[in-house]
Amino acid sequence: MSITYESIILLRKDDAGEAIRILREEGERAALNYLRQWHQPGEGTLISTRSNPWQDGDLLFEDGDYVLYCNFDTPYIGLVCRADGR
């Protein structure tokens, strides 16, 4: 069974700094809300996959249809939204 996500944003390395700082200092919900500002429904790239867009070992935080994923080592932080209506 495939799952369809809308890719909202993926920030890597230096571009991820502010979002990761918010995650560390203010928590998961604050970081998700920060990244959600880039969500323009229907304008993101649709990803239909049998596996998740994040990697094993990523920190995950879900809020409704939104999934924030983060890796501090690489570093990167991203946000997707389920687009398949579950």
For 26-80, the pLDDT digits (tens) are 999 999 999 999 887 766 666 666 667 788 899 999 999 999 999 999 999 999 9
Report angle CA 37, 86, 63 to the nearest 5 degrees: 40
- How confident is the model over 5-33, as a mean pLDDT? 95
- What pLDDT, on the 0 to 100 scale, is given for residue 3? 77
Question: Do 70 and 59 contact (CB within 8 A), yes or no?
Answer: yes
pLDDT exceeds cutoff 60 at 86: no
